[in-house]
A = this chain, B = another copy of it.
Amino acid sequence: MARSATTSDVFNAIGDRCRRDILITLGAGEHDVTALVERLRSAQPQISQPLVSKHLKVLREVDLVRCRHTGKRRFYRVNAEALRPVHVFTARFEQMWNERLDRLDDVLLGMQEHAEHPAGTHSPDTNTANESGAS
């Protein structure tokens, strides 16, 4: 078979650079499409309005943006809460990297102590014993 479904998924939606730029721009406050296109052009001079509208559609479909719609203009804004799944996902690992820094501290402290009480240690550097953690 082929590619599995990816759209209508927040993770995929933010996978695109252009859409991230849109979100960042809208993060500064509501914009209508014309204003949004104009601001995006400062980074990507040749971006087109239809393209932006298409990206907005994707973002809308995953509820990352919402639009208020007065007269002929449509004002888009970010719905930050839709990013929560991403945040939750990364948070799990953020904890890991903090733990590693803590462990690094431990190592450094250990080295310090070693420097004071030196002992012959041979280090088989590729074959360190590993703790496989949970099953």
Contact = CB atoms under 8 A, between A and B. Distances in A.
Given A4-B17, A80-B94, A30 B132 contact: yes
A84 B97 CA distance: 10
Contacts of A127: 70
Interface size class of A (residues with CB under 8 A): 35 or more
A86 interface: yes
Contacts of A94: 80, 83, 87
Interface string A83-106: 110110111111011001000000
Contacts of A92: 24, 27
Interface of A: 4, 6, 9, 11-12, 14-18, 20, 23-24, 27-30, 68, 70, 75, 78, 80-81, 83-84, 86-87, 89-94, 96-97, 100, 126-127, 130-134
